[in-house]
Structure 1
C-alpha cells in the first residue's frame, strides 16, 4: 500500500489571484464555487452570484468572465462540479419570469446547465420537478464510478414565514444521463424544520457518493449535524454530532453566517483511509469562539468519531468553512475565514488547512494577500468553496475592501512524497 507523506507546495510564495471585482451591492458578487477539471487540471471553472461564470485555461492564474442565462432564470446559489469526462455542471436557483421576488414562480425548481469543455457554451438547462414550493440552497456531487449526479437541497413550504403549519425539508434527486433529466425528488429528512431560515430550519444539504455507490447527505437542524444515508433503495437518517451554535452563527461584519456541514469521501484506492467519510462544519462556543470541526466514519456511516478541531486559532474566530478531498491522493483541504492575530473585530483573513493522514494532523496557512473588513450592511454570502484534483488545489472566497466586493483564488500546486 502506498502511504502519502507530507506534501510540498511547488509554489511556496504564491499570491492570491483576483478573479472578479465589483461594487459592494448588498447582493453583489459572492457565494463563489470552483471546479478543477479532472481531465485537464489547467481548465478551472468558477461561478458567483448572481449569474457570473469564469474560466481559466492556465490553472487559475488568469480568468475570463461571462454572464449565464437560462429560460428558467439564473438566481444565485451557484454550484459547480466537473465529471470524469470533462462535462461541467452549473446548478443554480430559478427565476423563470425574470422579476425575482415580484413573481410567485421564483425558486420554483433547481436548474442544471451543462457544457462539455472550455470552448463549449452552456445549454439552456434541465430542472427538477416543479411542485409549487420554494427550493433553495442546493449542492451536488458526482459518482466517480458511474457518472451519476446527486443533488440535494431545502424545500420551503413558504420561505421566511413563521407560520407553524409551514415546514422545511431536505430533498434529493439524481441524474443518470449527465444532467439531461432528473429523478422525482424524494424527502430524505426524518424531521421537519421551520421556514424561518434559522437554527430550526432543515438546510445546508451537501451530498457525497461512497465507494460502494452509497449516498451520504449531511445537513443541519436544531443544533445538530444530521446524516442521511442511502444504501440500496432506503434512506436512513440520524444525528452524528452536536452543533452548539446551530445553523445561524454571529460574527462581526457579517449580517448573517452559518455552520454548513460539508461531506466528502476518500475515493483514492491507494489511500489507507479509502472509503472514509468526512463531515466538516463551523461552530461557536465560549471556550474557543468560532471553530472548524470535523468527524469521520470508517464503516459507511454506522459509527462516527468524536468531533475534532481543524483550526487552531485559540479563542479567535474561524468560520464559514468548506472541505474537499483530492480523489487521486486522499489529501484533505479546508478553506475558511480566520481572525487570529488581527487588530479589529472585523479584520478578516482567509486560511487553508490540509491533512495527509486522514485528519489526524492539520497544518494551516494564510492565503489572502491582505486583510479585508466585511460590513454587516453588505451580504458576504452563505459559503466559500474549494476544489482539488491531482495536486491542483484551488480555494475560492469573497472579500470586501475599499467599497468593492471581490472573488479570489489561491494557486496551490501540491507534490507528494510516497513511501512503500
Structure 2
C-alpha cells in the first residue's frame, strides 16, 4: 500500500485566495494531482491555472510532478508563472540536525584564537560565505557589513551574490549538511561557486565543507538571526528566522525544535515586522529593484560586544583588511603607489570586490572601505620586504598535473633589530 502524504497549496491568483492541504500518495499520477488541485479550489477543468513551487518552478507534466512534488512541499496556484505574489505565504520546513552532527562532530576550536579577539574571525566566516556567493557575479561583488547599535542592536552582512532558493535556504539551516548533500538541488540551481575552477594565488574563498562556520559565527555574535534571500530566477524573497529563544520555547512546550517556516513574500514587504525596528524596515525597503541578494541579520548582540566594536573600530577593521588583503588588492598585494603601474593584469580584475563596513550608534556614523586601509599587517609586510621570491611547483597526482605556488618575502635583520612588521595586539573582552 502506497504511503500517504500532504502538500500545502496556496491560491495566489488573488490576495484573498485560500490555503488548502491536499492528500496524495506515492503512486498518485500527475493527472490525478491536477484533478485534486482543480477540485480543491473549485476550478473548472477548462480554466487554465499555473501550479508552481515557491521557487516558481512550474509543475506542468509528469516529470516535473515527480521531480518537484514531495511530502509537505508548498505550492502556488497562479494566473501566470511570473506574476506578483499578491499576498505572503508561509512555507513549512524542517531542519533536523543531519546525522553528520554525530559522526563528524569532533572539537571545533576556530575561535580559540589566543591573544586575539575572536569577533573579527566571526565576521570573516560570514564574509567568506558572501565571497563564495558572489563568485559568479559578472560585475561588482559588493559585500556590506552593517552594524546598527541604536533601538534594537543588530549586525547585518549583505551581499549581491546569487541568492538561495527556498530549498537551498532549508539546506542552509541543516547543521553540518555538507556541500555534496546540498548539491541535490536540481540542474540549473545556483551552486556553481562549489565548482572546481582554478583560482589565483591566495584567493580561494570556497573553504567551508559543512557550512558550520557561518551558523557558529551567527550564534557567537548574537542569539537570533534572520536570513533573507532572493535569486534572479524568482521574483519572490525567501526569509527564515532562527532564535535561541524560540528553541527554548518549543522545548518547554514539547514541540518539534528543528521545525520552522520560510516566509515567501514580495521584495520590500515589511508588513510582518514590528514598527519599532526602523533599521530592519529600511533593509527590507531597499530590496526593491535588486535582482538577487542575501542578507544575514543577527540580533541579540551583547552589550560587551557592542562596546568592543564601537571602541575598537580601527583595530578590528584592520584585522579584516589583513584577512581579505589579497581579495581586495589581487595576488600582488597592496604594493606601494610607485609600483602600482607594474601590477599584473590579474590583480586588476579583483578591484571589483568591495567590502565595506558601516557602523551607526547614537549620532556617530563610521564608514570604511577595506580597500582603503593601508596600515594593516599584510600591507606593511608587502611594502617593507626588501626582496621577494615567487615560486610554482608542478607535480603529478592521480594522472593529473597539480600546482603549488607561493611567494617568499625577505625582511632582513638591520641595525640590531628585525624589520618584519609585528601584529599589533588587539584588546580581548572574552
Same fold? TM cut 0.5 = no
TM bucket normalised to smaller: under 0.3
TM-score of the two chains, using structure 2 as the length reference: 0.26
TM-score of the two chains, using structure 1 as the length reference: 0.26
Higher helix fraction (1 or 2):
2
Higher strand fraction (1 or 2):
1
